[in-house]
Structure 1
């Protein structure tokens, strides 16, 4: 749920009646909150006598009649509430999956479908109108409907319908309060009632997933805004080339064969000759539009990660030649936004007998609201995902007027549609959506754009723009595709050819797919609909008024996308690094890869084990997932410890780094201090030198600033850190792009980036070491303010905390309700760009903003020895036993047994529910 969700709003009426109803409903809300508080106060569920809380808990034993079933379906749950479903037909299996998802997670499903359809205002009131308007402009629901009507296979549509039938069978006869406690609170304010589920609700979820994994749209905007203040070399400093010599790409062997025209893992690569940059001049003078669009993007819900930034993942697979089991081992941990409940829902889908009538025997991680298994294994193969990061979005600057937009010297009319946004407790709003040759005019949804280029007043009810400039979006996910087909095809795949066939249909979002099977093969496939540009490289917005720019009709052919099968090195690692060396590949996938910090660490850990003559075990894979080494610390600490520090208090902190092994355990004082130093290096070297339009809203720190004399308690005044910095400075987020930036600059001790002006009592810096010394001082007083003067009490975990928030009322509901729905904090180890990627954004502090959302290690062929963990638990019901019952183990790096075979599931089963026709 979006961070900007408002508390439910009251209904409208006459002035006096409205006030009275609001007061009455607020009073009733207070009553329910107090009741919940009472329940929570006696042990988070020790007594569940209050119907508003207990009524929504799922029945997990006994028998339930379910309309539409052809035969019995068994739902076997283990001690963590994870269900394994057994049926005799595909339709029964997916109907039961919909029912069980709704039992545990319908509130989450309902909010998600309203978000993807641009209908949040129906649930939460006027505070969501702007968000809904933007999402309607993108048209996720419209495209999902088109996919369902015209593109998806008949079998996929049958499965989607069966799933929807199961969800609706659960909803039948239930009031909101019987479904989730959030409905009870929401119903007190706007009388919202959930409607029936549809197959298109499931399809639309893939659009939200694709949006969060859309690639480099924000980088396009940022580079353009930088051009107003920085020269081309400076921008290149901040967006360095991928370090192919230091960080291996995923695929190191093969090329497109000159004979077959297809990608061949055995072919020899040649130089590629990729296209040139988009002209920088195309965006000059349009900073207002782009900055405004950037602000608008920040307000859009990000279900997978913080507005598309930092979203990563790890996956790797090792051949049986190098494992203790003699069969492949496969690991995966997607890095997504922490949320409560977790995005993932663990489940097994089993046909009692696999046949033409019932084709599935699979288990893994599902999305509530969608049928099938997204990541996991079946009886023959295992697979995992990481974000490929292909550049599948381009922004186009349009010259617009009331009559249309300029294209090759002529005015073309917009494609126009109107939509009505219903608002709980308020009047509906009608919006007009305009589309160009390149896609929807997303700048129409920005209030700032109303001021740009206007020549006449806006008339009518729709927020149309007058003459000036606009920004349109071209995005592969706005074209109907087959990704939903791919989910079922992956679940049924039995070998590498059928796996690749499924991957061909996984068009958006573009993901790295790794593979292993019971015959001992390992593999990789880069899938996705990846555009071919007529001109430019997608790193900057393009001029929409010229047909020289834009996309060719055909995307990169699937047969020309990189893949591997059983590479000689015996393992495959994907962690958002470059897929292939761009100098050896003719197609542009993106210019904005992750920089390979995590992937190279995993490569090094695997190679170290293999070269040492050892075999890799399931436990080794698990330990690798928890590796918390800081790559940037290995680079910087040797330089930091050489600097002569005169201030004894700062010197005391500097000593923490001496002998530190660069690991970021939760109890490490050295890790806390180093990360504070790193954050301050970024602020000093880059933060105040970037355009104000790139400003990131971060925290204002209470920091002790050194005076020249007096005892320590008096000589360090508490000041507001943002008052010591330019208030409109843009702060780097500290991700692995910034690792590469600093790596490239480190040896140039007199580079201009190290120069800073005098600020207060701080002297100007002219060299790298002077800036590093100042960063060490600033970090010392920052942590003194945050953690205290006594460094023996410092720890990384006290700074680096995970809080899990209910994605709706837990973010913007009443304070007491937040306390009841949310959980935390957990003090964590790991860090930004570590394998144990508990990410934090240096612009805003040290709190954890993305996490390994689940972890799994699959023991291929001996499936019952596989291991897994979820971030939270199976249940979306606050106070239920399985709300966060996996989180402590997740935080400690533990994994749970993952039963798959009939006997193993039977042994682990604690509850059995039979669904009957």
Structure 2
């Protein structure tokens, strides 16, 4: 294992957590398969009534129509031919008078977990928290003075370009001529088979990736801030920071994945820094793949200056929160992108944080488990007011009318709601883009990223359409379509759970399984996998357990891969938990010993002081240099 391997892991994370390259491909598929009207109708703009990070507790407001500009550029040149929460509380908001920092990154439900809990101490520095397996550093943790946690920032740091390859197979069009590309021959060893040879063309914009994508996307190149070899500091030096300013300066050199990093320290400072380089585009807004041969497209050589990247310290609200949401209002700062996750989780977190000023660790951990559905609150009156002309629709409305809006594992009404949302999302998409529907509903382009954000961003779009009910979308009026979707949802629940609604509990029909790569085949699944077990929540609840419209009862693609709550200054009281355990060996008692705690919303301490470490020690492994 070498530094190159660690950099490879970081670049793979940047690729899989980038918010926009796959969204560009989805837009391209909708545009080429179903036309510009379908794309305009189905593009899930960030809901203007939901919140941004900065200023805290402020609505996003109207979005600028950047898509229309990129559509015009595309059609003029080419013609027509497709998670996580964190927050920091200031002492004014806590019962202890110390800051509290919380974080729960959302990743796939895999075993062993993505994270490894650790405490490292040297004569010069110490750090405790969660390291990301395969890379040095602690993206989540504390150093005895400051604490920090991360969520995906989703800044648009990656663009795709449509390329025209020359007849020699080794050149691309640039303006009115063809220029040679760098050609790299990659040899990929395959266990038990012959090595695979891949010929990669590297254009002036970046490598051509089209052949690696599902869906016949053509010759498409990728330009990304994280692809070129550049100096990296950022997460690798946080164990040494002692102030928010030093924390910020660490990320001046971070051409890696885009992240929201929240901060709190023993001087009572709380802060937020959006990290990762932001490109400056010469033309267009990065929402659609543009023609690479157009000399006016592409990026300026230098990225956005670090001082212009949003950050915040000690707001008057007494808290800072992020949840993969739109960070700032359009027009209030630099252009950062358009493909944010709907701000329902952020809005629910802010709603809870600003309601009280006596937060403690137990209540903060309870908020990480919150399963209230804000989208249902917004659509409730609209849905309950539709005519019920079938027995199934009447039963659906009866259950929903009595529902408290909590997407609990034992709730039949939650299953009705989730089935209805998936059914309406599918109908809305298929009415406008029947050919590209699978892409618009979140189907991905590669096994590395099997789902796109379009799938989890359909709910805000649904709420907007239910409010506006634009004419001509369906052959019949919206209320009748909604009633028919309720009927279809109940019929599907009866097929899955029987006639008795008590058997429709959301967690029973949509359980959670933590899957190991070796457990993909029987009978090894019974040894390596954990579950299935009932689990609540969805993509828009604080307790993340996404349900995709194309497969609403499938295994959740994203969950809290780690939870951390830090009592800043009282380090021994802080709590951490993984969905599984520290070990990757299913025969080890530490393979799954944290799972019950994770299910209950509890955690374990990481001993900090030398005395606490000595008291907690059960075994010692001494590593000595060879020879």
Give the alignment's TM-score, normalised by structure 2. Answer: 0.91
The answer to whether the Cα contact below 8 Å between 2:31 and 2:80 also exists between their aligned partners in 1 is no
Pair 1:842-2:552 in alignment: no
How far apart are residue 505 of structure 1 and its match?
2.1
2:270 aligns with 522
The answer to whether the Cα contact below 8 Å between 2:441 and 2:454 also exists between their aligned partners in 1 is no
Query: Using the alignment, how far apart are the partners of 2:619 and 2:345 within structure 1?
Result: 40
Pair 1:664-2:414 in alignment: no
1:852 aligns with 560
How far apart are residue 893 of structure 1 and its match?
1.7
> Match for 2:615 among 907, 910, 915?
907
How far apart are residue 334 of structure 1 and its match?
0.5
- Cα RMSD (Å): 2.6
Query: Using the alignment, how far apart are the partners of 1:228 and 1:426 within structure 2?
Result: 38
> Match for 2:417 among 674, 683, 687?
674
Pair 1:488-2:236 in alignment: yes
2:17 aligns with 213
How many residues align structurally? Answer: 606
1:68 aligns with none
2:445 aligns with none
> Match for 2:189 among 422, 434, 441?
422
Query: Using the alignment, how far apart are the partners of 2:453 and 2:184 within structure 1?
Result: 38
Query: Using the alignment, how far apart are the partners of 1:633 and 1:330 within structure 2?
Result: 29
Where does structure 2 lack aligned partners over 5 or more consecutive residues?
57-62, 443-450
Pair 1:810-2:575 in alignment: no
1:149 aligns with none
The answer to whether the Cα contact below 8 Å between 1:391 and 1:589 also exists between their aligned partners in 2 is yes
Query: Using the alignment, how far apart are the partners of 2:398 and 2:267 within structure 1?
Result: 53
How far apart are residue 887 of structure 1 and its match?
1.4
The answer to whether the Cα contact below 8 Å between 1:496 and 1:523 also exists between their aligned partners in 2 is yes
> Match for 1:634 among 374, 377, 387?
377
The answer to whether the Cα contact below 8 Å between 1:682 and 1:732 also exists between their aligned partners in 2 is no
1:395 aligns with 160
Pair 1:743-2:492 in alignment: no
2:221 aligns with 472
1:434 aligns with 201
2:135 aligns with 370
Query: Using the alignment, how far apart are the partners of 1:426 and 1:388 within structure 2?
Result: 39
2:447 aligns with none
Pair 1:781-2:491 in alignment: yes
How far apart are residue 481 of structure 1 and its match?
2.4
> Match for 2:70 among 258, 277, 284?
277
The answer to whether the Cα contact below 8 Å between 1:664 and 1:830 also exists between their aligned partners in 2 is yes
How far apart are residue 915 of structure 1 and its match?
3.5
Query: Using the alignment, how far apart are the partners of 1:445 and 1:746 within structure 2?
Result: 38
Pair 1:237-2:30 in alignment: no
Alignment of 1:844-883 (within 5 A): 844-846=551-553, 847-883=555-591
Query: Using the alignment, how far apart are the partners of 2:229 and 2:138 within structure 1?
Result: 22
Query: Using the alignment, how far apart are the partners of 1:221 and 1:749 within structure 2?
Result: 28
Pair 1:826-2:620 in alignment: no
> Match for 2:510 among 800, 805, 809?
800
How far apart are residue 447 of structure 1 and its match?
9.1
Query: Secondary structure at the residue paired with 2:543?
Result: coil
Query: Using the alignment, how far apart are the partners of 2:213 and 2:318 within structure 1?
Result: 51
1:337 aligns with 108
Query: Secondary structure at the residue paired with 1:251?
Result: coil
How far apart are residue 735 of structure 1 and its match?
5.1
The answer to whether the Cα contact below 8 Å between 1:226 and 1:691 also exists between their aligned partners in 2 is no
The answer to whether the Cα contact below 8 Å between 2:421 and 2:459 also exists between their aligned partners in 1 is no
Give the alignment's TM-score, normalised by structure 1. Answer: 0.63
Bigger shift: residues 674-683 or 424-433: 424-433
Q: 1:802 to 1:283 in 2, by over 3 A?
A: farther
Alignment of 1:756-775 (within 5 A): 756=475, 766-775=476-485
The answer to whether the Cα contact below 8 Å between 1:377 and 1:383 also exists between their aligned partners in 2 is yes
How far apart are residue 521 of structure 1 and its match?
0.4
How far apart are residue 533 of structure 1 and its match?
0.5
Alignment of 1:47-126 (within 5 A): none
Bigger shift: residues 341-350 or 425-434: 425-434
Q: 1:495 to 1:443 in 2, by over 3 A?
A: same
Pair 1:498-2:246 in alignment: yes
The answer to whether the Cα contact below 8 Å between 2:456 and 2:548 also exists between their aligned partners in 1 is no
Alignment of 1:334-733 (within 5 A): 334-351=105-122, 354=123, 359-403=124-168, 404-445=171-212, 470-483=219-232, 485-585=233-333, 587-609=334-356, 614-695=357-438
The answer to whether the Cα contact below 8 Å between 1:733 and 1:842 also exists between their aligned partners in 2 is no
How far apart are residue 691 of structure 1 and its match?
4.3
How far apart are residue 904 of structure 1 and its match?
2.3
Summarize deviations over 1:60-108 as a string: whole Å, max 9, x none.
xxxxxxxxxxxxxxxxxxxxxxxxxxxxxxxxxxxxxxxxxxxxxxxxx
Query: Using the alignment, how far apart are the partners of 1:225 and 1:852 within structure 2?
Result: 31
How far apart are residue 234 of structure 1 and its match?
4.4
Query: Using the alignment, how far apart are the partners of 2:23 and 2:142 within structure 1?
Result: 35
Q: 1:629 to 1:572 in 2, by over 3 A?
A: same
Summarize deviations over 1:758-777 as a string: whole Å, max 9, x none.
xxxxxxxx111101111111
Summarize deviations over 1:424-443 as a string: whole Å, max 9, x none.
33333433221111111112
Q: 1:687 to 1:905 in 2, by over 3 A?
A: farther
